Amino acid sequence: MIKIPEPFHQIAPNPWHDVPVGEGSARGIFPAIVEIPMGSSNKYELDKETGLLMLDRVLYSAVYYPANYGFIPRTLADDGDPLDVLVLGAEPVYPLTLVMARAIGLMVMKDQDELDHKVIAVHVNDPEYSSYTDVHQLPPHRLAVLKRFFEDYKTLEKKSVIVDEILSAEKALPVIDEALANYKTWRDGGEVILNKPTI
């Protein structure tokens, strides 16, 4: 069980716990917190206890994040973390920036044999990407780049990542809804069973 340290929570806002998601999530529109800017080889990660951004590691391979990478606030995914999201846009976004995003797809993958969904989204205020409503509208090369990054980025760490498939926007919405429900149950003191197959 993840411990929520109340003193920190009361002193400063925590990006995971204190950003309301709003009603738009039912239509696939939600706030996303960027942890890692597009083009970075640094893997930043939210420190769950303090709400600060921690440099987890520098990627071992000569690769960089192909999209802005972060999480959807007030969600709890099957790995015990907030639900991951890739936010496509024309420019890198500073870490810990809040952006409005729309889900256009879902990457289903296994990281060390554990299910690890990544929502694929677009920044709704980016004119180059805002018109996309489904991942299959993207150029095939863009999808290949996203997939290849996650297949390769842990290779030199001798860790296994398998990208099973990239699914359409309609498959992403139930995963987001479930992660929001898991978070609410957890915050309300209920038990959440994680690492269960969703797709």
pLDDT in tens, 101-160: 999 999 998 877 778 899 999 999 999 999 999 999 999 999 999 999 988 877 777 777
- Residue 8's contacts (CB-CB under 8 Å, 6 or more residues apart) are 14, 49, 50, 51
Mean pLDDT, to the nearest integer, of 172-182? 95
**DSSP secondary structure letters along 135-155:** GGGS-HHHHHHHHHHHHHTTG
Cβ neighbours of 175 (radius 10 Å): 22
Percentage with pLDDT > 90 across the chain: 65
Give the model's pLDDT for residue 1.
54
Distance CA 15, CA 32 (A): 10
The answer to whether the beta carbons of residues 110 and 161 sit under 8 Å apart is yes
* Distance (Å, whole) CA 44 – CA 30: 21
The closest of 75, 87, 80 to 111, measured between CA atoms, is 80
Beta bridge partners of 110: 115, 162
Separation CA 130–CA 87 (nearest Å): 11
Per-range mean pLDDT, top range of 84-93, 158-167, 181-190: 84-93
| Span 62-84, average pLDDT | 94
Residue 31 has pLDDT above 70, yes or no: yes
Query: What domains does the chain contain, in order, with CATH numbers?
Result: 6-184 (3.90.80.10)
Distance CA 160, CA 129 (A): 31
Q: In terms of pTM, does the model score above 0.75?
A: yes
Alpha helical stretches, state H, the chain: 6-11, 140-152, 169-187
Contact criterion met (CB below 8 Å) for 126 and 102: no
